[in-house]
Amino acid sequence: PAGNWSSYPPHKHDEEKDGETALEEIYYFETQLAEGMPAPESGGTDPMGYQRVYASDDRPIDVSAEVRSGDVVLVPYGWHGPAMATPGYDLYYLNVMAGPGRVREWLISDDPHHGWIRRTWDESAVDPRLPFGR
């Protein structure tokens, strides 16, 4: 929903090791004016969101992409997240994963600087807007 983050904490799946698989990821985005938001008085809207990707090893990658409906972000490797819905605009994404790994499981490693956040979820209330849909 508008004003929220997803795909967080930043994580990766770019190595074949215990607890992680080497899989590339593709994010396809759709954006829209959030439900209940008033239409602007002049002109249309330009719904947008953001996607972040950054290096997890010696391979350089640094993406802070502004995304709109129909945009795609390829994550060949590295830490990625969050996908950010800007205030006033809902953000949807479909992510697809594939790669050379022997194991076809979504096994990830969290960025050690931010992975602690995942441990707080058990005590957190579920956002009443979820599951998200109309």
pLDDT one-digit tens code per residue, 64-77: 999 999 999 999 99
- pLDDT given for residue 133 in this prediction: 55
Where are any strands of DSSP class E within the chain? 5-6, 11-12, 24-33, 49-54, 62-67, 72-75, 79-85, 89-98, 109-110
Q: Which residues pair with 74 in a beta bridge?
A: 26
Is the peptide bond between 131 and the residue preceding it cis, with omega within 30 degrees of 0? yes
CA–CA distance, 128 with 77 (Å, rounded to integer): 33
pTM: 0.87
pLDDT one-digit tens code per residue, 8-58: 999 999 999 999 999 999 999 999 999 888 888 877 889 999 999 999 999
